[in-house]
Structure 1
Amino acid sequence: MCRGLESLPSACLERAKELKSRLGSLLHKKQMGLIGQKADMQRQIVVASLRWKESFQELLQDKQILHAFQAFLMSEYSEENLAFYLACEDYTTTQSPSKLPAKAKKIYDEFIICDAPREVNLDHETKIITVKNLENPNTSCFDLARSKIYSLMEKDCYPRFLKSVACQELSRQLAG
């Protein structure tokens, strides 16, 4: 019993056209809203992905960027600073007190002792305090040395990284 459109009264046709137009307008607005939301989400992702450029602490929290920073430090023959910092971070999260002495000795032998394979640049006083702390290893025995190396990276390595060609390329890739 379907009748063709030509058999419908003209008032019904006008009403159908009006509803179609309104529906189309609503759909268009919804699509534009979704497009706007998608653009906002993309902007938020870009901002979040570039947050590491705002502070050194943010860089340390972003695993992907941390790897890029590590590669940069390796190219400058100064990756021992980051390796030491990360080893200290790992050390502070050691759950078993019985494991602390062995881990502390490993960090000391690798990074602090004179002529260590990856010796970090610490002043004499910091070394003395750290050695004294190692007599009774606890999770904070490297805090002073770790803080000094953190400051060194934040004030020296991090700004150089931000100015590097590798960092600028990485920023372009993440932004767009």
Structure 2
Amino acid sequence: MCKGLSYLPSSYLERAKGMRVKLSHLAEIHHKQKVQDGKLLQDLESLLSSKIGLQAFRGFLRSEFSEENLEFWLACEEYRVSPSKLQKIKASSIYNQFINPDAPLEVNLDAETREALLGVMDSPCADTFNEAQQRIYTLMAKDSFPRFLRSHHFAEAVKAY
């Protein structure tokens, strides 16, 4: 006959109860984190700070042939925190890669912003690309990001969380 759990020492039962409480607490934390992560993908700023979200958004932009916007934004983020002794070299690289009219990954900026950047390329500082970066961020937020939220790339990213 089965005696149930009554034959086990009380210390085992107490430990099992403690483990059950801890496991249920961990499961609750995991569920809350998944809910928060799903919400993180719903705004561009949070998406860009998420490794999975960033990969999914990059894949989506690549499928739309507009990955250069994200690459420019990321290059500006890296530039902003680079040592001042490297800023002139990095600024020139960013300009040649993304801003110059013949750039291989030219981003869509208005002529006024391009001219302003050209004017400060001789003496760049940490915030040289702030305005251009903000314009591209706004473009992604208003144009690409809403389409991304309706894409299979987004659905896959949510599953990955």
Q: TM-score, normalised by structure 1?
A: 0.78
1:166 paired with 2:153, answer: yes
Correspondence for 2:134: 147
**CA RMSD in angstroms, aligned pairs only:** 2.4
Q: Max radius of gyration: which structure?
A: 1
Q: Map of 1:125-140 to 2, 5 A cutoff?
A: 125-140=112-127
Structure 1 or 2: more helix by fraction: 1
Correspondence for 1:60: 48
CA distance in 2, matches of 1:75, 1:52: 22
- Quick check: 2:41–2:53 contact (8 Å CA) kept in 1? no
Please list the CA deviations of residues 138-162 of structure 1 after superposition, one character each: whole Å capped at 9, or x if unmatched: 1111111001001111111111111
Shift of 1:31: 4.6
- Quick check: 1:88–1:146 contact (8 Å CA) kept in 2? yes
Code of the residue aligned with 1:148 in structure 2: it is: R
Of structures 1 and 2, the one with the larger relative CO (CA 8 A, separation 6+) is 2
Q: Look up the SS of the partner of 1:119 in the other structure.
A: coil
Q: Map of 1:11-160 to 2, 5 A cutoff?
A: 29-95=17-83, 97-160=84-147
Q: TM-score, normalised by structure 2?
A: 0.84
Q: Unpaired runs of 5+ in structure 1?
A: 1-17
Q: Unpaired runs of 5+ in structure 2?
A: 1-5
Shift of 1:40: 0.8
CA distance in 1, matches of 2:143, 2:101: 23
Shift of 1:35: 3.5
Code of the residue aligned with 2:135 in structure 1: it is: K
Please list the CA deviations of residues 95-140 of structure 1 after superposition, one character each: whole Å capped at 9, or x if unmatched: 1x23211111111111011121100000111111111222311111
> What is the number of equivalent residue pairs in this alignment?
157
- Quick check: 2:75–2:94 contact (8 Å CA) kept in 1? yes
Shift of 1:29: 4.8
- Quick check: 1:130–1:144 contact (8 Å CA) kept in 2? no
